[in-house]
Structure 1
Amino acid sequence: MIRPQWEWALDDAEGRRLTEPVTPVFTTQYDAELWLGEHWRSLAGAGAVVASLLHDGNQATPSVELRTP
């Protein structure tokens, strides 16, 4: 059985894809979104400005801006 894969792609302010930090791969969209809700501040602190949720390699939802107050 092949399980669906959900993962976050992170981009910097210039739109370049970041290779670090690496996000986990999830089996459900809910788990992926929950994880981002818990970790977005640290991702933003590491230089991520935009997060895009990928489902089996394809963008599944609109991108999310990671803004710190």
Structure 2
Amino acid sequence: MRWTWQLEDPTGAPVDPASLDLEVSDWDSQGDAESWLGENWRDLLERGIATVTLFEGGTKVYGPMGLAAT
């Protein structure tokens, strides 16, 4: 199974990464997907992404998870 992040705007609506000139890949493992998010969450937040949801294949693993510090 492949691991993917769904990017979401402040209303929770999914955002197409291409609309932000981003290329978001998919990963072989949950750890790889989470590492990518750890390296890129600030950039995503600056581009208007408020939350993300992690999927394994078509199954939601967790989320939505907010990117803003509280």
TM-score (norm: length of structure 2): 0.84
Richer in strand (by share): 2
Partner of 1:6 in structure 2?
3
1:62 Cα deviation after fit? 3.2
The RMSD of aligned alpha carbons is: 1.5
4+ residue segments displaced more than 3 Å: none
SS at 1:63 equivalent: strand
Structure 2 unaligned residues grouped into runs of 5+: none
Identity over aligned pairs, percent: 30
CA shift for structure 1 position 16: 1.1
One-letter amino acid of the counterpart of residue 13, structure 1: P
Task: Tell me whether 1:48 sits opposite 2:49 in the alignment.
Answer: yes
Conserved 8 A contact 2:52-2:64 = yes
Q: Which has the higher helix share?
A: 2
68 and 42 in structure 1: CA distance in 2 versus 1, 3 angstrom threshold: farther
Paired residues in the alignment total 66
Residue 34 of structure 1 is matched in structure 2 by 35
Query: Are positions 1:17 and 2:8 aligned together?
Result: no
Which runs of 5 or more residues in structure 1 are unaligned? none
CA contact (8 A) 1:41 1:68 kept: no
State the TM-score, normalizing by the size of structure 1.
0.85
